[in-house]
Structure 1
């Protein structure tokens, strides 16, 4: 069972581990070794500030951190990563549901994200559409990814 809760400062090392392992073990099927080496780098202090500067949630399964996601005030979903051991268990779906619920509460009508080749199918199945294919440079490496968006409808209430 996936449980979603707000991020706490003591989650920092766990979310960094999730990010690094997701990039190195999952995204590596779609990007080469040089791209992965460029992507899988973390400035711990910057991450600490960033995680506390915006709503961030963590997903847990039992006592293990399984994933995390955040939301910026303009509807930008900057990060959403799932630990490789918890792929395919509903973690990303639960995190995205939390992000969407929070966006609606804040009056945000549109979510948008820069989505990796790896994550594109997931986002597509959840109602995001590709706005543009793009190439971004990170630490001298070029990455193909996708700008995607989802317009949020009103929350449906049961009859």
Structure 2
């Protein structure tokens, strides 16, 4: 069984995390989304340097890595308490990595005295957020490039 650790994002992670995001959407997404929804969702992830740009502008990205320091999952935390971009490689699914990433982000938020965490979770990510204590506030139905899709606004107060 592989051992994983969590570390902060490095610029050299960009390409691997970008590929992981697209792979997760395309390979795991079909469990809850149509082919058309998957195509428009993955098409939104067309900039391999986007995470590096976000990190350079203050986003904190936590990366779960295997024993060879290869990225297996990641989550992005913004200092206002917004959690975004929770993705796990299909090759590393069912290993509890989203749960560990959410716990790490929560610890980080508490250290910053953030009072509330919030996210917009896909059907795929919703169970991980629920396990971490987030509550659905409402379903968000919207349109991406002419395709109807949805996610869930979720939040967790921190005490």
Asked if structure 2 preserves the Cα contact closer than 8 Å seen for 1:2 and 1:90, the reply is: no
CA deviations 1:55-84 (Å, max 9, x no partner) are 111101112210111111110001110001
Query: What is the deviation of 1:90?
Result: 1.6
Distance 1:141 1:47 in 2: 25
**Greater Cα offset, 25-34 or 3-12:** 25-34
Query: What is the deviation of 1:115?
Result: 0.5
The alignment status of 1:40 with 2:42, answered yes or no, reads yes
The alignment status of 1:84 with 2:90, answered yes or no, reads yes
Aligned runs of 1:18-33 on 2, under 5 Å? 18-33=20-35
Query: What is the deviation of 1:16?
Result: 0.4
Unaligned stretches of 5+ residues in structure 1: 154-159
Counterpart for residue 149 of structure 1: 155
Query: What is the deviation of 1:46?
Result: 3.5
CA deviations 1:109-151 (Å, max 9, x no partner) are 1110001111212211221100011112222222121000011
Counterpart for residue 60 of structure 1: 65
Distance 2:51 2:62 in 1: 14
Counterpart for residue 131 of structure 1: 137
Distance 1:84 1:77 in 2: 20
Distance 1:125 1:59 in 2: 18
CA RMSD of aligned residues (A): 1.3
